[in-house]
Amino acid sequence: MAKVGILSALERTSANPLDTPISRVRELYAHLLGHDTATEGLMSWCAACGLGEGPISAEVYDMQGVRRRDGAIWSRRVMLSRGAVLLSCAEIRFRTDALTPLMLQRLAQGSVPFGEIVKPLRPWRTVTFASALAGDSILELHATVRAGTGLPIARVREAYRRVLIVGGV
169 residues of the chain, pLDDT tens digit each: 333 344 444 554 454 444 457 888 999 999 999 999 999 999 999 999 999 999 999 999 888 887 666 678 889 999 999 999 999 999 999 999 999 999 999 998 888 999 999 999 999 999 999 999 888 899 999 999 999 999 999 999 999 999 999 854 3
Please, are residues 36 and 123 in contact by the beta-carbon 8 Å criterion? yes
Query: What is the distance between the alpha carbons of residues 135 and 132, in angstroms, rounded to a whole number?
Result: 10
Identify the CA nearest to 115 among candidates 87, 84, 85, 136: 87
Q: Whole-model pTM?
A: 0.83
Fold of 6-166: Chorismate lyase (3.40.1410)
User: Residue ranges per domain, the chain?
Assistant: 6-166
Q: Tell me, what's the pLDDT at 124? A: 95
Give CA–CA dist 58/42, Å, rounded: 12
**Is 114 in contact with 94 (CB distance < 8 Å)?**
yes
The residues with which 92 forms a beta bridge, in sequence order, are 76, 156
**Residue 101, CA atoms < 13 Å, CB-side half-sphere:** 0
Parallel, antiparallel, or unpaired for β 56-68 and 124-132? unpaired
Alpha helices in 37-147, H assignment, sequence order? 38-49, 101-109, 114-117
> Would you tell me how many other CB atoms lie within 10 Å of the CB of residue 127?
23
Residue 22: predicted pLDDT:
83
The radius of gyration computed from the CA coordinates of the chain, to the nearest angstrom, equals 16
